[in-house]
Structure 1
Amino acid sequence: MGLHTGEPRPTGERYVGFGVHRAARIGAVGHGGQILLSNATRELVEDELPPDAHVRELGTFALKDVDRPERLFQLEIEGAPSTFPPLRAQRVARPRSVPRRPLVLGLLALAVAAAVGSTFAFALDGSDGAPSGVAESGGQILAVDATNGTVSRRISAGRTPTAIAAAEGSVWVVDADARTLILFDEASSAVETLSTGATPTDVVARPGAVWVGNGERIEGSQFIGPVATAVVRLDPATRTERAHVRLPAKVGDLSNLLENHLAVADGSLWAVTPNYSVVRIDGASGAITATSKAVRAIAVAAGGGGVWVLGADGDVVRLHERTARVVARVKIPASVISISVGDDAAWVTSGDGKLWRIATGPSPNVGSIDLALGIADLAVGAGAVWVLNPLAGTLTQVDLDTVTVSGTIELEGIPRSVAVDGDTVWVAVVAGLGAAVTEEVSGITSLPATVCEPVLAGGGEKADMLVVSDLPLQGGVQVMTTQMAQAIAFVMRERNFRAGRFRFAYQSCDDSIASTGLYDDAKCEANAREYARNEDVIGVIGPFNSGCAIAALPTLNRAPNGPLAMVSPLNSFVGVTRGGPGIDPTLPASLYPTGRRNYVRVYPTDDLQGAALALFARERGRKRVFVLDDGDVNYGGLMATGFATSARRLGLEVVGRDSWDPQAGSYANIAARVAQSGATAVFVGGLIDSNAARVVRDLRDRLRRTVDIMGPDGLQPLLLVEQAGRAALGTYVALGGVVTERLPRAGTRFVERFAQTQGGAEIEPSSVYAAQATEVLLDAIARSDGSRASVVQELFRSQVRGGLLGSFGFDVNGDITESPVTILRVDSGRGSQAIQSVEGATVARVVRPRAGLVR
């Protein structure tokens, strides 16, 4: 029996709602005669139980179709059975609390906020804002004197400061890990911590007003983290909320970006919405007075030169400050990153290391200067453009008049965001991980507990080296990645923490932040620096996300006595290992500054999904194919190119190719062109969040059932059915890798052994891939001489026979030579909506495309 306390919703003779669903899920993991309580129920009944009854905590568990893990308790009654088998759910670690100083006046602040109807509670954190020294908690606010380019103050600021804003001597910072807003007063050196009642994502400040983006997860979105769905205006003097505005957001074309989404001009706020549009919000009334969909907006900025919007495809537009109509438009021929506006120009950073100047006017002049790879956020003020480089840990000053570099400042950390107030440049910096630990396992220096779990090692033995894993251990992927870390540890235990003649220890490290539950570039880079600096670290298993690898690899490649080996279980982005159509031309060379590769992966690249579907189409006799994509060169376009290239090499006729506008309300015209082409199969390259479900629905309305619709893993089966209805049924979806049921013999045996440690929880394919990555690294260590360089050399010599994923090696780029891709057929709307879930579909085929089809 499962008991949970919540508010049900009556429908006829039944009760429904999330509370009822949660109670059912709790009961489902128990056993006959066992009574399980949620934490909510336990808190209500524990003090009211009779003397012969009590509750016992069983731990925190992941429940099927429930987003957050649940603390479960067992009701024990004297004389009744109290011993049962393990629960049929995966046990997870309880979320780590973020170390922070004791808060003062917390209850008083909460009462004040409630009295004025505010959703904000604030408290002084006890920091004195000392001008020097490393922040204990890992985050810092740096004050840079614009007149001489020196760092004048370092202020402790939470754990992972991201967005920063400054006005009238007050500095406002979003702490992504604590999900709070930090306020530093320059005059008094006081530091305050404010809770917004939601997840703050961005902040902008101007005299008399501070605006904060508040985030939440959008139901039906593939993005598991929060995006800004509302903005609130604060009175900077009283810290109270003066306005609350909901941003337009609907399932379809959805952004997963968070920062540089707010700008203020003439008292009005400009905000990027979750649907890539930009809205103008009247500062006095809070009303949305204008909307622009001129570009798929990823950032907005304002200044004396007007309101400018940065588009995902490199378009930069200036908007009229009242009507939001386009006044000017230019195109940046590179991957754009950030934007800031001065009195007479807009300034843009791009992925190729350039700083672009766009002069104001109806026909603006565009020019650029070369800075350095890795540049990111920027701000204009104090006679200069100030450009951050998180990769190099620097702040570069560019003179506004001459557009030349005046100087570069070393920041001793990883800068995230920059703002200018008067003659002071304020920078949000993520410091290092903190002091290392030496006493836990003899022979090695372990990594600090602020980011990494305790060390695991063989009983009573001295370790020769340290192996780490780097995964996002917070948020919606926590259940998956926790099991992956457990699978890594399981492999190591089976080997008695030995690799040949070497004894090793293991630490599981986190590369995510709490505000999104996803990996964070700055944290990935900070982790990489610690791994490289600690010479006991011999190899890294991870990361989970390709973007994290891109952030970490340049540092690991330059590691002392290295490079330092990295083996990823799940990275799929092509550009980590090789170039190709739509790939940033600086990749992958910029990831390997020494010229020597130190990265391999056991997972297939994204473009092989397209190749697998092309093979599948040929197998089904579909000789004429039409190719569609969502215009995103990093995913949908990349997948579509892989499919089209493979189709041609397989002798199929590509009868047409087109891109859809993710913001369109109908795709009937595209469906008509596909029908007229005589195509017998259509490839839909995109995401549910780029409106692919509507594309599928309009295609199916026009095409015969004999025409196959197929797409990459972005067409997650359950979400596809939810948004496209019955039109989604029969769609073929590629899934990189192989599902657990189709593993070779060694993989199946591993699942059987590992499952005995998981309390009945289902073993995810990702855990098998993590285990295989671990075995590859340990085997390379065993064959090496124990040095970092030798381990890398042995990785590329790997020839796995009868492994968990079969037999394979690695090519010169680091890609696995045998790359199975699973083809699913969407057949229902029931099951899990988890990323890469196969629920809602059946396995139609496992295909092993040759890499030569896409290269």
Structure 2
Amino acid sequence: MTRFIPPLLLVALLAVTTIVGWGGSAGGDPNTIKIVSSLPRTGSAKAQTDTIVGGMKMALDEAGYKAGKFNIEFLDWDDATAGAGQWTAEAETANANRAVGDPDVMVYLGTYNSGAAKISMPILNKAGLLMISPVNTWPGLTKPGMGDPGEPDIYRPSGEITYVRLVPTDDLQGPLGAQWAKELGFKSVYVLDDNEVYGKGIATLFIDACHELGIEVLGHESIDVKAQEFKPLMATIKSLKPDLVYFGGTTQSKGGQIAKDMVAAGLDAKLMVPDACYEEAFIESAGAENVNDRVYVTFGGLPPEQWTGAGARFRDEYIKQHGKKPEGYAIYGYEAAKAALEAIRTAGVKDRRAILEAARGIRDFDQGALGTWSFDENGDSTLTTISGLTIRNGQFEFVKLLGQ
């Protein structure tokens, strides 16, 4: 989920980093460890990241801000700016460098956007600092042969894997979305994306699966996310008479506006969007009247109303504390913090390498809210559940499991 970062800019950003070496005892209070999060806390993603941070804090509260013998200090950092209204490469770079330069920081929880991860992963990797993402979904961050040329090795300049993540990736979600479209009887689709890492990536994976399934792809276009509306584009798409429009992108990159403009143009096709639009802000930006019974949503995981066991207990406690239902990603924030605490407890020392190795070694973890899972050799979790939802009466409604 991010805009494209040119290779030369990426190199320039990395060149200004200050790196603290791997391992070794940290400074400051020997009994205190800092966990930081880096998420877009300014702009239209704030409602979603509020719930992710809320989940993190619930895990820390339950642990009494302790992990083994260590006191835990949590710092909530913003990688967005008011001017941009979303994450920026400059803010994410600053956060990563700040974390690396603080010897008390042992875990970096983030990012929200896959494009932001591309910026901070190499910086943190050089310092041997554990990075746990609750929600990055671009396959190329971890999976060889599943992303752009050179991925994921370009994010591992040390040769070590320092990044792990929890959410199922787009190489599952994109094709399963296409399979669902086939099951729903759609024979043709027009595909849009926001020209960002996440959006363009999942759109391409969706298109590839459509070709295999015999769904006709009438066109594929990247939108200008700075545009205020897309009515001329919708008129063009309407003339092609697709059964479905697929948008690879986020609420912040105009997912709601596309839904609104489809209706304004009299485009009868349904709309399918991925997990980055699975948030109340999407319905609010589009207007419920423009999405009711018109939109299909794919999501890596289960919606809150489908959570059971520890997941249901997390949901109910979240509602008790916050007075409202959590967004779908909140549980991943909780789980990421749980994994961080487990790694610190298992390591038993205030040492970045030891804590990293403990996290990489997590197997059959069942102390969170997502059931039992492990990190694999690439740093991906073994969680693979994908859900399909629709929108009725201004609310997301679970339809079916697409894969598990």
TM-score by length of 1: 0.40
- How far apart are the structure 2 equivalents of 1:537 and 1:755? 30
Give distance in 1, aligned partners of 2:275 and 2:47. 20
1:374 matched to 2:29? The reply is no
Shift of residue 567, structure 1, vs aligned partner: 0.8
Of 38, 47, 65, which residue of structure 2 is paired with 1:497?
65
- 8 Å contact 1:471–1:511 — kept in the other structure? yes
Matched, 1:548 2:116: yes
Contact 2:40/2:87 (<8 A) preserved: yes
Q: Which has the higher strand share?
A: 1
Distance 1:801 1:727 in 2: 37
Does residue 1:568 correspond to 2:133, yes or no?
A: yes
Pairing 1:348-747 to 2, within 5 Å after superposition: 351-353=6-8, 374-375=10-11, 389-393=12-16, 445=28, 463-559=31-127, 563-578=128-143, 583-620=147-184, 622=185, 624-626=187-189, 628-630=191-193, 632=195, 634-647=197-210, 652-660=213-221, 662=223, 665-667=232-234, 670-671=237-238, 673=240, 682-687=244-249, 689=254, 692-693=258-259, 696-697=262-263, 701=267, 709-713=271-275, 716-721=282-287, 729-747=293-311
Tell me by how many angstroms 1:773 deviates. Answer: 0.4
- Aligned partners of 1:666, 1:479: CA distance in 2, in Å? 29
Give the conservation status (yes or no) of the 8 Å contact 2:52–2:334.
yes
Distance 1:530 1:625, change over 3 A: same
Asked if the contact 1:732/1:824 (under 8 Å) is kept, the reply is: yes
Distance 1:520 1:710 in 2: 27
Distance, in Å, in 1 between the alignment partners of 2:291 and 2:333 is: 35
TM superposition shift of 1:698 = 9.0
CA-to-aligned-CA distance 1:613-632 (integer Å, 9 cap, x gap): 23433554x38454523473
Query: How big is each residue's C-alpha offset from its partner over 1:462-509, in whole Å with a ceiling of 9 and x where there is no partner?
Result: 724322222333444445434533432332232233334544433333
**Which one-letter code corresponds to 1:638 in the other structure?**
G
Correspondence for 1:765 = 328
* Aligned partner of residue 808 in structure 1, secondary structure: coil
Name the SS for the 1:847 alignment partner: strand
Q: Is the 8 A contact 1:755 1:762 kept in 2?
A: yes
Deviations 1:57-80 (A, max 9, x none): xxxxxxxxxxxxxxxxxxxxxxxx
Extract unaligned runs of 5+ from structure 2.
19-25, 224-229
Match of residue 846 from structure 1: 401
Same amino acid, percent of matched pairs: 26
Report the 3-state secondary structure (helix = DSSP H, G, I; strand = E; otherwise coil) of the residue aligned with 2:232: coil
State the Cα distance separating 1:556 from its structure 2 match.
1.0
One-letter code of the match for 1:391?
Answer: L
> Which residue of 328, 332, 337 maps to 1:774?
337
Secondary structure of the residue aligned to 2:366 is strand
Query: What do residues 29-76 of structure 1 show as CA deviations (whole Å, max 9, x unaligned)?
Result: xxxxxxxxxxxxxxxxxxxxxxxxxxxxxxxxxxxxxxxxxxxxxxxx
Q: Which has the higher contact order (CA 8 A, sep 6+)?
A: 2
Instruction: Confirm or deny: 8 A CA contact 2:52 2:333 kept in the other structure.
Output: yes
Shift of 1:595: 1.4
Aligned with residue 792 of structure 1, among 352, 356, 363 = 356
**Aligned mates of 2:79, 2:7 — CA distance in 1:** 25
Aligned counterparts of 1:506 and 1:710: Cα–Cα separation in 2? 37
1:484/1:654 CA distance change after superposition, 3 Å: closer
- 630 and 551 in structure 1: CA distance in 2 versus 1, 3 angstrom threshold: closer
RMSD over equivalenced CA pairs, Å? 3.7
Query: Given that residues 471 and 542 in structure 1 are in contact (C-alpha distance below 8 angstroms), is that contact kept between their aligned partners in structure 2?
Result: yes
**2-side partners of 1:780 and 1:481: how far apart?**
23
For 1:628 and 1:757, how far apart are their aligned partners in 2?
Answer: 40
Provide the C-alpha distance between the structure 2 equivalents of 1:586 and 1:618, rounded to a whole number of angstroms: 33
Whether contact under 8 Å (1:604, 1:819) holds in the other structure is: yes
SS of equivalent residue, structure 2 residue 10: coil
> Structure 2 length normalisation: TM-score?
0.78
How far apart, CA to CA, are the structure 1 residues paired with 2:87 and 2:219?
33
> Cα 1:551–1:666, aligned 2, differ >3 Å: closer, same or farther?
closer
**Map of 2:392 onto structure 1:** 827
Q: CA separation in 2, counterparts of 1:485 and 1:817?
A: 23
Q: Shift of residue 636 of structure 1?
A: 4.4
Q: Which secondary structure does the structure 1 equivalent of 2:372 belong to?
A: strand
**Other structure's SS at 2:81 match:** coil
Mark the runs of 5 or more structure 1 residues left unpaired by the alignment.
Answer: 1-222, 224-255, 258-334, 338-350, 354-372, 376-388, 394-411, 414-442, 447-461, 676-680, 831-838, 850-855
Q: Distance in 2 between the 1:444 and 1:755 partners? A: 38
Whose helix proportion is higher, 1 or 2?
2
- Structure 1: distance between partners of 2:200 and 2:57: 38
Partner Cα separation in structure 1 for residue 120 and residue 194 of structure 2: 28
Match of 1:189 in 2: none
Runs ≥4 residues deviating over 6 A? none
Q: Is this contact kept in 2: 1:701–1:727, CA < 8 A?
A: no
- Relative to structure 1, the CA distance from residue 685 to residue 595 in structure 2 (aligned partners, 3 Å threshold; closer, same or farther) is same
Deviation at 1:514, TM superposition (A): 3.5
Deviations 1:113-138 (A, max 9, x none): xxxxxxxxxxxxxxxxxxxxxxxxxx
SS at match of 1:729: coil
Kept in 1, the 8 Å contact 2:37–2:108? The answer is yes
Is contact 1:671–1:698 with CA below 8 Å preserved after alignment? no
What secondary structure sits across from 1:496 in the alignment? coil
Shift of 1:692: 3.6
Is the 2:10–2:119 Cα contact (8 Å) retained in structure 1? no
Cα distance in 1 for residues equivalent to 2:332 and 2:163? 16
Q: Supply the distance in 2 between the matched residues of 1:482 and 1:726 (Cα, whole angstroms).
A: 26
Alpha-carbon offset, residue 746 of structure 1: 0.5
> Could you give the per-residue CA deviations for residues 511-562 of structure 1, whole angstroms, max 9, x where no partner exists?
3334345333223222222322322222112223333322222121111xxx
Amino acid at match of 2:107: G
Q: What is the one-letter code of the residue matched to 2:334?
A: A
Residue deviations 1:365-401 (CA, integer Å, cap 9, x gap) = xxxxxxxx725xxxxxxxxxxxxx23212xxxxxxxx
Distance 1:711 1:484 in 2: 21
Q: Which deviations, in whole Å up to 9, do the C-alpha atoms of 1:651-709 show, x marking residues without a partner?
A: x323334224746715556455556xxxxx63513457377437844997566xxxx65
Q: Distance in 2 between matches of 1:445 and 1:518?
A: 33
| In structure 1, distance between residues paired with 2:321 and 2:58 | 9
